[in-house]
């Protein structure tokens, strides 16, 4: 049995997968709790997942209503779960840089399809990564928290090392951050 990966290794491998995996599973729920799970083509812009889907889908309705989604990369042997804040924009109104990043990465442009399409931008709030039961301890490799409610800015915590084994479940010592993950820092809505 191989040793568990360090948090830095998990971060690097998660970034590699976000840049290279072709698909992502997106889970949303209606306000009355009806779940929706769909596979979509994945584009990672360095800060958020970009996906496109028809505007009239439950996925878009759910994301608009809640502003949240959960994303997972396509492997049960190497799990990556992302809890996200989700913004929905009609594809024809999305920023040129986001459209270009999506089309270049996926190789397909929804604007060339019939019907109305939306671009969903899923910004991670928490990222977990593990590939075995022994890695479930300390699986959170990124967490964002609000530090300035007036300006609605955010920062990352809970990165830097696997969750330590502390007496009485004390998690305070685990509030460290790694400079290489600062690229995920985003302003909150």
Dig out the tokens for 38 from the structure.
Answer: 């769909």
Share of the chain above pLDDT 70, in %: 68
Position 136 scores a pLDDT of 57
**Is the Cβ–Cβ distance between 25 and 81 less than 8 Å?**
no
174 part of a folded domain: no
Position 3 scores a pLDDT of 80
184 part of a folded domain: no
First to last CA, the chain: 44
Closest by Cα among 114, 96, 92, 113 to 104: 96
- Tell me how far CA of residue 70 lies from CA of 97, 105, 120, 126, 132, in angstroms: 24, 21, 12, 10, 20
187 part of a folded domain: no
The yes-or-no verdict on residue 163 having pLDDT over 90 is no
Q: What is the mean pLDDT of the chain?
A: 76
In whole angstroms, what is the distance from residue 56 CA to residue 88 CA? 12
pTM passes above 0.85? no
In whole angstroms, what is the distance from residue 169 CA to residue 173 CA? 11
64 part of a folded domain: yes
148 part of a folded domain: no
Position 184 scores a pLDDT of 30
**Is the Cβ–Cβ distance between 21 and 39 less than 8 Å?**
no
Position 139 scores a pLDDT of 58
147 part of a folded domain: no
Position 65 scores a pLDDT of 95
User: What b-and-e string marks burial along 20-37, b requiring 16 or more CB atoms within 10 Å of the CB?
Assistant: eeeebebbbbeeeeeebe
183 part of a folded domain: no
Q: What is the 8-class DSSP label of residue 54? A: E
> For the segment 114-132, what is each residue's pLDDT rounded down to a tens digit?
999 999 999 999 888 878 6
Position 151 scores a pLDDT of 34
Helix (H) / strand (E) element for 12: namely: helix 7-20
Position 48 scores a pLDDT of 93
Half-sphere exposure of 174 (CA within 13 A, CB side): 20
The yes-or-no verdict on residue 171 having pLDDT over 70 is no
Position 75 scores a pLDDT of 76
- Tell me how far CA of residue 5 lies from CA of 30, 37, 177, in angstroms: 36, 29, 17
**Domain, as residue range, for 45:** 7-141
112 part of a folded domain: yes
Position 187 scores a pLDDT of 27
Helix (H, G, I), strand (E, B) or coil at 77: coil
The tally of domains found in the chain comes to 1
> For the segment 74-111, what is each residue's pLDDT rounded down to a tens digit?
777 788 999 999 999 999 999 999 999 999 999 999 99
Position 178 scores a pLDDT of 26
The number of residues making up the chain comes to 189
pLDDT bucket at 143, cuts 50 / 70 / 90? low
CATH number at residue 91: 2.30.110.10
């Amino acid at each position: 049995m191989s040793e568990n990966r360090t948090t830095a290794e998990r971060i690097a491998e998660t970034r590699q997968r976000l840049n290279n995996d072709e698909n992502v599973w997106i889970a949303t729920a209606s306000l009355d709790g009806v779940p929706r799970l769909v596979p979509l083509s994945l584009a990672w812009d360095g800060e958020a997942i970009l996906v496109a889907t028809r505007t009239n889908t439950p996925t878009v309705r759910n994301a608009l209503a809640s502003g949240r989604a959960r994303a997972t990369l396509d492997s049960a042997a190497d799990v990556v779960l992302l809890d996200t804040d989700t913004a929905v924009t009609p594809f024809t109104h999305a920023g040129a840089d986001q459209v270009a990043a999506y089309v270049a990465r996926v190789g397909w442009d929804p604007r060339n399809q019939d019907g109305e399409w939306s671009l969903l931008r899923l910004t991670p709030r928490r990222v977990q990564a593990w590939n075995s039961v022994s890695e479930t301890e300390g699986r959170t490799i990124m967490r964002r928290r609000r530090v300035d409610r007036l300006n609605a800015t955010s920062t990352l915590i809970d990165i830097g090392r696997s969750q330590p084994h502390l007496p009485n479940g004390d998690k305070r010592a685990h509030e460290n951050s790694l400079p290489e993950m600062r690229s995920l820092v985003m302003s909150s809505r």
